Chain A
């Protein structure tokens, strides 16, 4: 692979490719081979990953808790088709991010710096790093709660999870890291057998999909809050940064756009099915009039479900919660590493050597270490963190989405991959809706503190 390149004065200088360039070239050679030998399934297997990971990563600890609370509060009804809609929105947003990554070959944070200046880039980096750190804390809370169901001490659970995140990064190979995380993400499907063990009423699910009902109790404040929480559980800022950077790190090119879209669509479909399964499983609690206010974490839900779906079903539910936290910890810490290094102009690739990408690996590992340590701190303000995470994620979604829309509409960098007028109208409406809904959700959390009511 060694050769020559032109220096700054136009002279020939020796060129030794970096490790990540060699590995990416190898991956591309495999893709070329699969494409030239006309093996579409193998080609898709090579190119899929970022879309599936971003969607299953977003089915994280807090999201699964939100779906479980929805099922336990409202049963099978309005929220089944609503979840399908939220994942359609997520697909539309993430598809734009894929196109931006393929057209520009740059990560999201890097592109914000390049097109809007350093101050906006630093703002994007800061909100991503802080939001992700707090979200990581909630993922470790989910892992701790899920493992507590099996009697695992919190210290072993948190340190074990952090070690797994680090081990995956230590492979120093994007493809290996991606396959490890996808293998773990398969655990998200555990919510499906848990739902089947609840013996769901198929006709009620079909009726809910067809009629968008019923809504027990009508349009109450609790209903409105869960609508907003479920939107927040489907579209979040880290997803934008992660998928664009992963598309670039994986080396996806223009010819791979179809597979990248299918990857994202497949991820959204699987994630939606799992989210619906979680609602259906938890709806058993609604049917048996269990008070949802007594359920605050994954272990509570698993224990409460045990009499109705059996010990196997409850164990599957708890295992699913552990998986949700673990996979999200891997993808979110990586998105922090990408975002921070893109703005700091430091090397950022999961294919890079430790010595050449110290800031990248240090950011990812440090965020996991800090989040894990916070969860283990006695009297740590975990409630404050959980509430602040919701506020940050929903409030910062508006700026993040606005940048996606502006970048995807920029013909100078997107060429013929830029948003059409029609897709801009659709995406613009979605961005405005999510921004307003996010601000409304944040207000439902913040206002009680100012008015003396109870949180969230």
Chain B
């Protein structure tokens, strides 16, 4: 049987990963309203 290995404790996110996640957060804040707007815009007759 395959056992689940224990994961090491989560460490604070630093360095390049932190930069990438900040960029991702900005990307999400731009794209989510865009998706919502597109959906409702296409509903217009």
Interface residues of A (CB under 8 A from B): 21, 24-25, 28, 103-106, 114-117, 120, 123, 251-253, 381, 383-385, 387-388, 391-392, 395-396, 398-399, 402, 406, 412-413, 442, 445-446, 449, 455
| Ranked 5 nearest A-B pairs via Cβ | A384-B42, A105-B4, A388-B39, A253-B2, A25-B1
Q: What per-residue 1/0 map shows which CB atoms of B1-20 lie under 8 Å from chain A?
A: 11111011011010001001
Interface residues of B (CB under 8 A from A): 1-5, 7-8, 10-11, 13, 17, 20-21, 24, 27-28, 31, 34-35, 38-39, 41-43
Q: Within 8 Å CB of B42, what residues of A?
A: 381, 383-384, 387-388, 449, 455
In the complex, residue of chain B having the shortest beta-carbon distance to the beta carbon of A398: B27
Q: Within 8 Å CB of B39, what residues of A?
A: 384-385, 387-388
Interface of B is mostly: helix
Q: Within 8 Å CB of A455, what residues of B?
A: 42
Number of A-B contacts (CB under 8 A): 73
Q: Within 8 Å CB of A114, what residues of B?
A: 7, 10
In the complex, are the beta carbons of A446 and B13 less than 8 A apart? no
Sample 10 A-B pairs with CB under 8 A, ordered by A number: A105-B2, A105-B5, A251-B2, A384-B39, A388-B38, A396-B31, A398-B27, A399-B27, A446-B34, A449-B42
Q: How far is the CB of B20 from chain A (nearest CB, A)?
A: 6
Interface of A is mostly: helix
Q: How far is the CA of A251 from the CA of B13 in the complex (A)?
A: 30
In the complex, are the beta carbons of A395 and B34 less than 8 A apart? yes
In the complex, residue of chain A having the shortest beta-carbon distance to the beta carbon of B8: A412
With A115-B10, A399-B28 in contact, do A381 and B4 touch (Cβ < 8 Å)? no
Q: How far is the CA of A117 from the CA of B25 in the complex (A)?
A: 13
With A387-B38, A395-B34, A395-B35 in contact, do A24 and B2 touch (Cβ < 8 Å)? yes
With A384-B43, A392-B35 in contact, do A413 and B8 touch (Cβ < 8 Å)? yes
In the complex, are the beta carbons of B24 and A402 less than 8 A apart? yes
Q: Within 8 Å CB of B2, what residues of A?
A: 24, 28, 105, 251-253
CB within 8 A of A391: which of B7, B10, B34? B34
